[in-house]
């Protein structure tokens, strides 16, 4: 095991896959000569050259479409968005082309492409750079939507995404690029569509994804001191969704709280609550609750940011509420 940063784990995944398959290339703003806005692609230009690590103009709609076209004729592009907020400029390309071409062509064309980059709020970036976009893409059949919190998951999931024959929306976080974790020296792949039990417990299931895992883990420690034994399910894949792991956990505990950074209205959390209530209604001891971002545009000031995000205190309060029933 090596202890490496998440940015290094993502880089290793891309390098190993590009060495294995010459049809894979990386394209995006500042990925080559600047080594990536967050240094995820550092050193890749020197190894693979300008034909396979390609700097683009500031034109997400253009280079997303170029990548989709390349995927249709046998290449396997990795398209980096400097932030997923900027992907909205390319939304039509992703949801009307990448997601639908396989079905509309009767299977004549597949689109093996990965769209990746940082998602959700960071620090002091304001509302136009802080949107959690997962619900916007998970809504559409034809796309896979994947996220992670640890270096181990980052590498294994990205390698799986690159090898997948379908378009994959791969959501990272600039807040976690520097976090270190253990990554095996040998090759490994994490199957898409498989959640992970990050902590086993008996009293209540906390379901989350992305960097909110760290806040949930802190809340779990505080709750344990109160005698509440929490189980944490890290979804990792939002589409396809691992219903079996989620439902089995809720059946075991009888209670559930969903925690995520997106807005509460029409978010992925709402879909999870609906599916849990439909599948597990007979065993639920309390209504399924959500802890999400406040339903306001993201503020810039640090003190206001803290009021908007899911917090340890808000998670603890939600768990205490379901435990009272």
Condensed to tens digits (0 to 9), the pLDDT of residues 159-177 reads 999 999 999 999 999 999 9
Residue 89 pLDDT level (bands cut at 50, 70, 90) = very high
Whether 129 is catalytic is yes
Give residue 242's pLDDT.
Answer: 98
Q: Average of pLDDT values for 251-277? A: 97
**Domains plus CATH for the chain?**
2-183 (3.40.50.970), 196-323 (3.40.50.920)
Considering 129, 174, 260, 261, which one is annotated as catalytic? 129
What is the rounded average pLDDT for all residues in the chain? 97
Q: Is 46 left (phi over 0), alpha (psi -120 to 50) or beta?
A: alpha
Q: Average of pLDDT values for 301-325? A: 94
Give residue 317's pLDDT.
Answer: 98
Q: Which residue in 214, 167, 162 sits closest to 187, CA to CA?
A: 162
Cis ω before 240 (30° cut-off from 0) = yes
Instruction: Flag whether pLDDT at 283 surpasses 90.
Output: yes
Query: How far is 41 from 102, CA to CA, in rounded Å?
Result: 30
Instruction: Flag whether pLDDT at 64 surpasses 90.
Output: yes
Least confident of 51-55, 124-128, 146-150, 185-189: 124-128
Cβ burial 229-250 (10 Å sphere, 16+ → b, else e): ebbbbbbbbbbebbeebbbebb
Cα–Cα distances (Å) from 109 to 23, 94, 99, in that order, read: 16, 15, 11
Instruction: Flag whether pLDDT at 104 surpasses 90.
Output: yes
Considering 17, 29, 60, 80, which one is annotated as catalytic? 60
Whether 46 is catalytic is no
Query: How far is 132 from 293, CA to CA, in rounded Å?
Result: 10
Q: Give the predicted TM-score (pTM) of the model.
A: 0.96
Taking only the tens place, the pLDDT of each residue in 248-262 is 999 999 999 999 999
Give residue 325's pLDDT.
Answer: 78
């Amino acid at each position: 095991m090596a202890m490496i940063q998440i940015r290094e784990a993502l880089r290793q995944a891309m390098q190993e896959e590009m060495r294995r398959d010459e049809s894979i290339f990386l394209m995006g703003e500042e990925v080559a000569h600047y080594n990536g806005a967050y240094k995820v692609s550092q050193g890749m230009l020197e190894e693979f050259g300008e034909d396979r690590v390609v700097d683009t103009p500031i034109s997400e709609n253009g280079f997303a479409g170029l990548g989709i076209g390349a995927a249709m004729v046998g290449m396997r592009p990795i398209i980096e968005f400097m932030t997923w907020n900027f992907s909205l400029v390319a939304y039509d390309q992703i949801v009307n082309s990448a997601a639908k071409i396989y079905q509309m062509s009767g299977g004549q064309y597949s689109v093996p492409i990965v769209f990746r980059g940082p998602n959700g709020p960071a620090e002091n970036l304001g509302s136009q750079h802080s949107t959690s976009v997962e619900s916007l893409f998970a809504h559409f059949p034809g796309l896979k939507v994947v996220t992670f919190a640890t270096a181990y998951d980052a590498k294994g999931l990205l390698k799986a995404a690159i090898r997948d024959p379908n378009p994959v929306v791969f959501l990272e976080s600039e807040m976690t690029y520097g976090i270190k974790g253990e990554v095996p020296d040998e090759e490994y792949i994490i199957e898409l569509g498989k959640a992970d039990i990050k902590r086993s417990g008996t009293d209540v299931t906390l379901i989350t994804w992305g960097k909110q895992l760290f806040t949930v883990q802190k809340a779990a420690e505080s709750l344990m001191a109160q005698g509440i034994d929490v189980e944490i399910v890290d979804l990792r894949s939002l589409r396809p969704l691992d219903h079996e792991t989620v439902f089995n956990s809720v059946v075991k505990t009888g209670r559930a709280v969903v925690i995520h950074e997106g807005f509460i209205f029409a978010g992925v959390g709402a879909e999870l609550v609906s599916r849990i209530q439909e599948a597990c209604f007979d065993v639920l001891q309390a209504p399924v609750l959500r802890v999400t971002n406040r339903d306001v545009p993201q503020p810039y000031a640090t003190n206001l940011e803290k009021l908007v995000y899911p917090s340890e205190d808000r998670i603890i309060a939600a768990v205490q509420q379901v435990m009272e029933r």
